[in-house]
Amino acid sequence: MQQAISGRLAIILYPACCVVHAANRKKHSMKIQKNSPRLGFTLVEIMIVVAIIGLLAAIAIPNFIKARATSQANACINNLRQIDSAINQWAMETSQPGGAPIPSVSTVSAYIKLNSSNSVPSCPAGGIYSTFNVGLTPQVSCSLSTARPAHIF
């Protein structure tokens, strides 16, 4: 291998077999386009998307919480209605006089559809049911009767 330098250009002289390989290398080299389209997203575009998602979350989360509280109150009111009907059936079947105390909510378990753990349904929001006397209005109430929305039958 010989090397000749003329001014700024350095020319390397290869044996004949190397020249063939060098020529093949040039044919198969990868072509890179100078004007390739940009790839990915800019920081501003990502920030706009994050801001839009944050805005949607700020609108949706309070509505979700309100809808959940309303559905829990409705489920509790339906439980109170069923327990009240079960108390009336229990009082008639056992000949309880008006004003007789009701021992507990579990007293009427034979007159109501029980939940999966074979007990009287409880308040989905965590309230506690308490019973009063037979014939009073209401005969049963939830401890969350002053919450918003109210659990009042």
- The answer to whether residue 27 sits within a structural domain is no
- The answer to whether residue 9 sits within a structural domain is no
CA 152 to chain centre: 28
The yes-or-no verdict on residue 22 having pLDDT over 60 is: no
> Band of the pLDDT at 147, cuts 50, 70, 90?
confident
Tokens of 19: 């020249």
CATH of the domain at 94: 3.30.1300
Distance, in Å, from the CA atom of 107 to the CA atom of 116, rounded to the nearest integer, reads 18
- The answer to whether residue 100 sits within a structural domain is yes
At 76-121, the pLDDT tens digits run 999 999 999 999 999 999 999 989 999 989 999 999 999 899 999 9
Record the pTM.
0.66
Could you list the residue range(s) of the whole structural domain that residue 89 is in?
69-153
- The answer to whether residue 153 sits within a structural domain is yes
- Number of domains the chain contains: 1
